[in-house]
Amino acid sequence: MHASQGRSVGLGLALASALSFGGSGVAAKPLIEAGLDPLHVVWLRAAGAALVLLPVAWRHRGLLRSRPALLLGFGLFAVAGVQACYFAAISRIPVGVALLVEYLGPALLLGWVRFVQRRPVTRAAAVGVVLAVTGLACVVEVWAGLGFDALGLLLALGAACCQVAYFVLSDHGSKGEDAADPLGVIAYGLLIGAALLTPVARPWQLDWTVLAGEARMDGVPVSAMLLLAWVVLIATVAAYLTGVLAVRRLSPQVAGVVACLEAVVATVLAWVLLGEHLSAPQIVGGALVLAGAFIAQTSTPKAPSAGPVAGSVPGNTELPVSSPAA
């Protein structure tokens, strides 16, 4: 595939992933309002997706022997960690603040590439991150309610670090002759994530009768099972798959900035489907996020320096062996 064509496909996949992830809140909120605990929704999301992908996990069972650390890292950070940290954070600080801190992930990712991998980053990617984070501040209207709870902010930062791990692990799994199949990584990641979330979410306390009834989306009754199916199949299975494939066609830092569109998608869908209207600052913020994502995706990775860097392997321009999945 031609490089430019592959980049276009990667951008399309990144946008599809942002759209899929962004729709999770719109489907999950009516379930929570109908009586489900937020952590129960998170567990149902991971466990349901893991069940759907169980045949895929069996087909790629060889990954348990060849890439056990990658699978454990993906399940721990990209599935369980980001969800658990985010929901714990919003129990202590405003949702908008937690969301903004979590989406500092792209900026942290640039720091990983620059200072851990010792690779230069493009100016366009850096400008894109600044614009995207500024836009996110407007989208979530962070000034509407700041609560500087130290533990809450640390938990939100933990969610941001887990988001960085998601992009790093997705890219790391595609390297080398034994590149891991993305479907297998996602399947086992969700299985491991669901297992790790079980003692935290305590699904045995879940009110299963809620799923047999209806939830209300802006006053309109909708089957709770239909909403759960959307969360599992679209907002999880399709979202993770397109996200991992996007990272493998784009650089992790570019895919990370494009992923900021999730907040814009979530806000727009909440406006259309839940009646949560956008304010003028949110519209401006959405435009800034779009501009930042566009600028970042037009950048190309800089060539590594000719000389070896301290602590690195000469000639190695890929993710380091000391990444979280190694």
Ordered per-residue pLDDT tens for the chain, 326 residues:
566 666 788 888 888 888 888 888 888 888 988 999 888 988 999 999 999 999 999 999 999 988 898 899 999 998 888 888 887 887 777 666 777 777 777 677 777 777 777 777 778 878 877 887 888 788 777 777 655 577 888 888 898 889 888 777 877 665 555 667 878 888 999 999 999 999 989 999 999 999 999 999 888 999 999 999 999 999 899 988 888 788 777 766 677 667 767 777 777 887 888 887 777 887 888 788 777 767 766 665 444 443 333 222 222 222 222 222 22
Q: How far apart are CA 223 and CA 86, in angstroms?
A: 26
Global pTM exceeds 0.85: no
Alpha-carbon distance 252 to 129, whole Å?
13
Whether 174 and 180 have beta carbons less than 8 Å apart is answered as yes
Give the single-character DSSP code of 238.
I
Longest Cα–Cα distance in the chain:
64
CA 43 to chain centre: 16
CA 250 to chain centre: 15
Contact 292, 131 (CB under 8 A): yes
> Given this model, what pLDDT does residue 123 score?
81
CA-closest candidate to residue 106, choices 321, 289, 302 = 289
Q: Is 316 left (phi over 0), alpha (psi -120 to 50) or beta?
A: beta
| Residue 318 DSSP code | S
In sequence order, what E strands does the chain have?
214-217, 220-223
Answer yes or no: are the C-beta atoms of 43 and 194 closer than 8 Å.
yes
How crowded is the C-beta side of 313, counted as CA atoms within 13 Å? Answer: 7
Q: Which sign does the torsion angle of CA 253, 258, 259, 261 carry?
A: positive
| Helices marked H in 67-149 | 68-73, 82-89, 95-102, 105-111, 123-139
> Residue 196 contacts by C-beta under 8 Å, 6 or more apart in sequence?
75, 76, 79, 80
* CA quadruple 177, 183, 189, 191: dihedral sign: negative
Check the CA dihedral 259-104-181-64 and report its sign: negative
